[in-house]
Amino acid sequence: MFAAMVAVPLPGFGFDALAHGMAGKDAATLFLNHGCQDWRDIIPRITLPTLVIAGRGSPAPWKSIAWTANQIPGAQLEIFEENEGGSHFMFVENATKFNQIVSTFVG
């Protein structure tokens, strides 16, 4: 399932690392809750500086991520193009750009 979420091959990257330290049941519960909860009434209440990052090639539609960013007052939206590693794991596929964006944001 996770292999379909990356735009480039990631030699040596094991997707089991994403849940490292979590029991399978806990990881499954977290994954299910993340995808099944309706957060639309909560998201506009975020008042902290917020960086929202999406990838055009992600299974999570970038337009829904852009909608989320637009609901948060003052949020900064960054969208990675597919040729920039803009799949679902931008922090791995293009760590240099991802880290630069985050560093600038937290600056």
pLDDT tens digit string along 87-103? 888 998 999 999 999 99
66: how many CB neighbours lie within 10 A of its CB? Answer: 15
In angstroms, the Cα distances linking 72 to 10, 42, 98 are 33, 10, 21
84: how many CB neighbours lie within 10 A of its CB? Answer: 17
Query: What percentage of the chain's residues is helix, strand, coil (to nearest 5)?
Result: 50, 10, 40
Q: Which residues contact 102 (CB under 8 A, 6 or more apart)?
A: 51
What is the pLDDT, as a whole number, of residue 6? Answer: 56
pLDDT tens column, 51-90: 999 999 998 899 999 999 999 999 999 999 999 988 888 9
Residues 87, 68: Cα–Cα separation, whole Å: 18
**Helix spans in 1-107 (H):** 24-36, 62-71, 90-93, 95-106
For the full predicted model, state whether its pTM sits above 0.85: no
